[in-house]
A and B are shown apart, each in its own frame.
Chain A
Amino acid sequence: MDILSPTSLDEVRDIIRNCLSDETSLSLRGAGTKSSLGNPVVADAQMQLSGMSGIITYEPEELILVARAGTELTEIEALLEAHNQMLSFEPFHPEILYGGTSSGTIGGMVGAGLSGPRRIASGGVRDYLLGFNAVSGRGDIFQSGSRVMKNVTGYDLSKLMAGSFGTLAIMDEITIKVLPAPETSVSLVVSCSDLASAQAACSQAFASAHEPTAACILPRDIAANVNLGGDAFAAIIRLEGVEVSVANRLTEMQNLLGPIGELHSLTQELSANLWRQVRDAAFFNETHEQIWKLSVAPTACVGIVNKIKTSIDASYFMDWAGGLIWLAGAGERLGADIRDVMASNGGGHATLMRASDDRRQNISVFQPQAPALMSLHTRIRRAFDPKQLLNPGRMGA
């Protein structure tokens, strides 16, 4: 297979124009870390985007960073850390789930749109992508958005790009809003007798004025494995910010959640480590045949998981106060069962995050949409890529 490695947007445009005339489809590759996420792609050639890399502008006082799509995520994170800033949405790092040593590129991060624990408190990748330029599947260079915080000029195409898995356009310059990193971070572990009370602890935490920035739920087995709880479910609440404030809110949170279960707090280091594990789904391992991610209403997670567990041997944990269920299991029926149970428990969407090519061949990796919405999605895709040249089939039709 031909591998094309453009270094500029003009080159990308020329390649796409040639592809249009030859009807040559392309798979797009940043660092390739998430190439087994999504429906399997069959393409005539590959476009390698790591040649379009480098940080173009970083202005800490303006809270913006502009980087080329092929820039390694870790390079960006290191630069921000040196200035006490961060990508607030805690992007997922793929090494643990998919192997390899790279954390991927910023283009891949935007394309996959996978946000971590802070998503529930302050937004995801979609909320921080201020603008970009790109080449569409029509072979046109276009840009959208801007480098300022607040902008409603024209349609917000950044939202469409985030999470589109390379099926709309090939991005070059990406502008991201960054935020100051919190001065301190601690976590409070609440040991709970069952899943329902663990979820209730999370909901109560977020309904309080104590501003948690993350809340996850670990079932007994995982909690025990990471030494977080005798024989109990662990609801873990993270508090961040100015030191006096964190100390104060920790006390308040302890008063609030004490009645639910036994409490203990994690130091900064243990806390940081735990939230990285939650972010990257590090509690699962290679023995799990399929790994799923379900986005649901936080309170619905209890009914969904309890129902699934009655018939399926699955391992799970939750982030986003219960709103994000990570679930590992096996078998041909697993995906259909998950989607059925979810549909009868308030709805949401389920994505097959990891499975063999074979398995992904036979089930829709992304949640099937209602027919009218599905055809709208298809029309939007064609508006960018009428010949389906870009990552054909990876997401949507």
Chain B
Amino acid sequence: MSVPAADQDILARRSEIAKGLKSIIPNHLVIDDDSSMRAFDADGLSAYRQMPLLVVLPETTEQVAAILKWCQTEQVKVVPRGAGTSLSGGATPLGDGILLGLGKFNKILEVDYDNRCVVAQPGVTNLGITHEVQDDGFYYAPDPSSQIACSIGGNVAENSGGVHCLKYGLTTNNLLGIEMVTMDGEILRIGGKHLDAGDLDVLGVMTGSEGLLGVVTEVTVRILRKPATQRAMLVGFDTVQEAGTAVSSVIAAGIIPAGMEMMDGPAINAAEDFAAAGYPRDADALLIIELDGPEVEVDALLERVEAIMKSEGATSIRVSTSEEERNQFWAGRKSAFPAVGRISPDYLCMDGTIPRKALPEMLTRMAGMSQKYGLRVANVFHAGDGNLHPLILFDANAPGEWERAEAFGADILRNCVALGGVLTGEHGVGIEKRDLMGEMFSEDDLKQQQRVKCAFDPDHLLNPGKVFPVLHRCAELGRLHVHKGQMPHPELPRF
């Protein structure tokens, strides 16, 4: 993957640009010394590091608007950044662009229980929202594993999910409104405490747009009452195939659990070494199924799920009997990344989604690829919705391993698409999967997406080089080629 070559003219104007920005926002909000900028040189895809041209840390929406407008006039690129936990390089800086950090937007503005929503600034962490309302029995449902750190604005930009999105949806399903600033400095308010915004669903297309369409400066999210009871079940299987079938059988029985996660043998053992969660080490596949709701409902559904698991050939079944035990069940899954980090110097986390029924086939193929590339792989899945997180183990210091890991990852994603799935279920395209977009989309599909980009940012100044493998100029994209006189279907009437 390559980062676009820096524009030398912009690099040469660096001090002038710093001065210009300092003339519109307070000096201390413009960071231009290398040692302070170092903290921003990468996001969660840390194999890619790049010092930004400058860092700006605005404190108000008006400052964001002034910065963007100035950058538009001066044709300077801008990369928005929340907490920098993106795993796809969405917030990787550009050497010839300013990094616009939203860390100072860290306040909860309003809690409204009667309308069940929270209004917050984008730099508030995902968990920060739940913390604000949990004493009153509420929570914010989407729960990415990075929730202690990642920002709600970053969640909007990535349309993040979590283990509970099977039942409660992704960010997009829990977002009611935003305030945003477009590259020309216009401040827009979309949605709010009401549902749908009227006219085109700009809120919907902003969600998951990876910082390419606008900068989110405020969010209104739905909060939910905490379920009365939550219980989890640990189920071991001899084969991943059986576990996969068991997952489908639960859904086919009309049950949508709050979460349904799967781990394969290597992931089970790594997690068990790390967290001692009580996982069956001899199992080749482990399911963690969580049910929530009123106690009687959870009891009734647990019974049904248990029956399904038995008939699908489960080798071990444990049901949590206390909150402590439930947390213990999850401890292994939630520490899967650091656990794998302990058995391998480095790992690469992939994020494709496939139709659930293709899971066994995908795992067979993955085993083959693991052999081919000579690298181990551990798998954790959001099995309920077919979202895979293969962790490719490698050693960045061993010559050629990083390249092999990247090639292995790309191969996995190509296979996801070939099996009817997609390149990314929740981590975003960023720079990581940018060059694979052609696997899933035709040239016309990608051009249509870029035309939407042009409606927001006609000069491609906001987070360019992400998501799209080839950047077409908006003027070129807008041109119409009228095929006059071509009549491949002469039977159709002409006017």
Q: A180 with B189: in contact, given A45-B495, A156-B159, A245-B296 (CB under 8 Å)? A: no
Closest residue of chain A to B165 (Cβ to Cβ) is A150
Interface of A is mostly: mixed
Interface residues in B, total, Cβ within 8 A: 109
Q: A211 with B426: in contact, given A17-B486, A61-B248, A146-B421 (CB under 8 Å)? A: no
**B492 in contact with A244 (CB, 8 Å):** no
**Which residue of B194, B449, B488 contacts A157 across the interface (Cβ within 8 Å)?**
B449
Residues in A whose Cβ lies below 8 Å from that of B205: 155-157, 159-160, 380
Mask of A1-37 contacts with B, CB within 8 angstroms, 1/0:
0101010001100110111111010000000000000
Q: Which of B418-449 contact A (CB under 8 A)?
A: 420-429, 433, 437, 440-442, 444-449
**A150 in contact with B429 (CB, 8 Å):** no
**Which residue of A2, A151, A349, A386 contacts B493 across the interface (Cβ within 8 Å)?**
A2
Interface of B is mostly: loop
The answer for the CA separation of A85 and B448 in the assembled complex, in Å, is: 34
Q: Does A152 lie at the interface of the complex (its beta carbon under 8 Å from any beta carbon of B)?
A: yes
- Which residue, of A120, A139, A144, A146, has the highest number of chain B Cβ atoms within 10 A? A146
Residues in A whose Cβ lies below 8 Å from that of B115: 203, 297-299, 323
The answer for the CA separation of A351 and B425 in the assembled complex, in Å, is: 35
**B195 in contact with A324 (CB, 8 Å):** yes
Q: Does B10 lie at the interface of the complex (its beta carbon under 8 Å from any beta carbon of A)?
A: no
The answer for the CA separation of A297 and B222 in the assembled complex, in Å, is: 12
- Which residue, of B194, B207, B251, has the highest number of chain A Cβ atoms within 10 A? B194
**A180 in contact with B255 (CB, 8 Å):** yes
**B196 in contact with A124 (CB, 8 Å):** yes
The answer for the CA separation of A15 and B172 in the assembled complex, in Å, is: 35
**B200 in contact with A163 (CB, 8 Å):** yes
**B202 in contact with A377 (CB, 8 Å):** yes
Q: Does A296 lie at the interface of the complex (its beta carbon under 8 Å from any beta carbon of B)?
A: yes
B166 vs chain A, min Cβ distance (A): 8
**A17 in contact with B204 (CB, 8 Å):** no
**B455 in contact with A152 (CB, 8 Å):** no
25 A-B pairs, CB-CB below 8 angstroms? Answer: A21-B485, A61-B251, A62-B355, A124-B195, A136-B448, A142-B445, A149-B387, A150-B161, A150-B170, A150-B386, A150-B387, A152-B427, A153-B423, A209-B294, A210-B294, A245-B297, A296-B193, A300-B193, A349-B197, A369-B198, A369-B199, A372-B186, A372-B188, A383-B452, A384-B448
Interface residues of A (CB under 8 A from B): 2, 4, 6, 10-11, 14-15, 17-22, 24, 44-45, 59-63, 84-85, 113, 119-120, 122-124, 126-127, 136, 138-144, 146-160, 162-164, 168, 179-181, 183, 200, 203, 206-211, 241-242, 244-245, 248-249, 252, 295-300, 320, 323-324, 346-349, 351, 366-367, 369-370, 372-373, 376-377, 379-384, 386-387, 395-396
